[in-house]
Amino acid sequence: MSAEDRSIACAVTWRHDWAPHLFSFRTVRPDGIAFAPGQFVRIGLPGADGLVVWRAYSIASPATADHLEFYSIVVPDGPFTRPLSRCRVGDAIRVDPTVYGFLRTDRFDGGRHLWLLATGTGIAPFRSMLADPALRRRYEDIVLVHSVRRPAELAYRAEIEAMTGPLEGRARLHYVPTLTAAVDDEAPPSRGRITTLIGDGRLERSVGLDLSKEDSRLMVCGNPSMIREVRALLGERGMTPVRRETPGQYITENFW
Ligand SMILES: Cc1cc2nc3c(=O)[nH]c(=O)nc-3n(C[C@H](O)[C@H](O)[C@H](O)COP(=O)(O)OP(=O)(O)OC[C@H]3O[C@@H](n4cnc5c(N)ncnc54)[C@H](O)[C@@H]3O)c2cc1C
């Protein structure tokens, strides 16, 4: 059966624009859809030729929420995001209820500190994870690093800042927003790419934790170049990716 045959038309129930090229939206949650935080579904809309265009989207809402939330880029002339950007409350989006994805913390063995490293919309699966009670019980510390160009692109910032410190459960949340474009802005976010913050030790110093093979488990999501470079940096520290047959320290997900 194709995605089209399986798919369900789901009404958009809410939309929030963070910046002209970034927005979040919710749809009705199809009956029976179950997912683990970090997983993704495929959503579809008619493209320029009338045929449905399908794209993978990480679910940004908690696994228990009564809706599905997504956080999207708008790519100039993007075959999917151009029609998506025109969606308003009441419009319908097709959701293929088959869930996919290996960005799941149950694939890790051990570890005390969970590091979630995202560029741009790569924060979407981590927003779902932050609401997961099992994750909060399992780790002592959760570090969320969100790298964007400008402050307006720090989606979910207020919500995440309100959660920092001890979470209900056990873990303590550290939030490290970081900007990569030169901006005149009030102080808080760090400056620099994730790889720079790891390479010069600023990331570890800012949260008071070491990135180590024994204690750290990492998830890295978003821009493929960032992911490639982070893999190399983690490799220098003796860390390896989680594979079916070998317990490693990190899991990655490229968005393109
Ligand atoms: C597992 C998985 C999960 C994904 N989850 C999300 C998500 O939660 N939110 C989301 O916005 N996208 C997500 N994507 C990307 C998404 O599937 C589409 O690629 C994106 O919506 C653009 O679609 P498009 O047809 O407009 O452009 P495409 O033709 O798909 O892409 C054109 C170009 O745009 C750039 N691009 C694509 N996606 C992004 C992005 N997210 N951020 C920055 N640049 C991008 C790349 O350079 C790409 O080559 C995910 C992809 C994968 C594989």
Encode the chain (256 residues) as per-residue pLDDT tens digits: 777 788 999 999 999 999 999 999 999 999 989 999 999 999 999 988 889 999 999 999 999 999 999 999 999 999 999 999 999 999 999 999 999 999 999 999 999 999 999 999 999 999 999 999 999 999 999 999 999 999 999 999 999 999 999 999 889 999 999 999 876 665 567 889 999 999 999 999 999 999 999 999 999 999 999 999 999 999 999 999 999 888 999 999 999 9
Protein residue whose Cα sits closest to atom 29 of ligand 1: 78
**3-class DSSP state for residue 27?**
strand
Which residue, judged by its Cα, is nearest atom 6 of ligand 1? 57
CATH number of the structural domain spanning residue 77: 2.40.30.10
Q: Which residues contact 35 (CB under 8 A, 6 or more apart)?
A: 41, 59, 63, 99
Amino acid at 98: T
Instruction: Tell the burial category of 250 from Cβ atoms under 10 Å away from its Cβ (0-12, 13-18, 19+).
Output: buried
Work out how many domains the chain is built from and give that number. Answer: 2
Q: How far is the CA of 78 from the centre of ligand 1 (A)?
A: 9
Amino acid at position 135, single letter: L
How many Å apart are CA 243 and CA 224, to the nearest integer? 19
Q: What is the pTM of this model?
A: 0.97
Domain end, chosen from 69, 100, 131, is at 100
Same domain, 26 and 141: no
- CATH classification of the domain holding 163: 3.40.50.80
Residue with tokens 């599905």: 68
Do 181 and 200 reside in the same domain of the chain? yes
152 and 89 in one domain?
no
Name the residue of 45, 49, 57, 221 to mutate for ligand 1: max ligand atoms within 8 A of Cβ: 57
For residues 62, 65, 68 and 73, what is the CA-based torsion angle, rounded to 10 degrees? -40
Q: What is the residue range of 189's domain? A: 105-254
Shared domain check, 214 and 124: yes
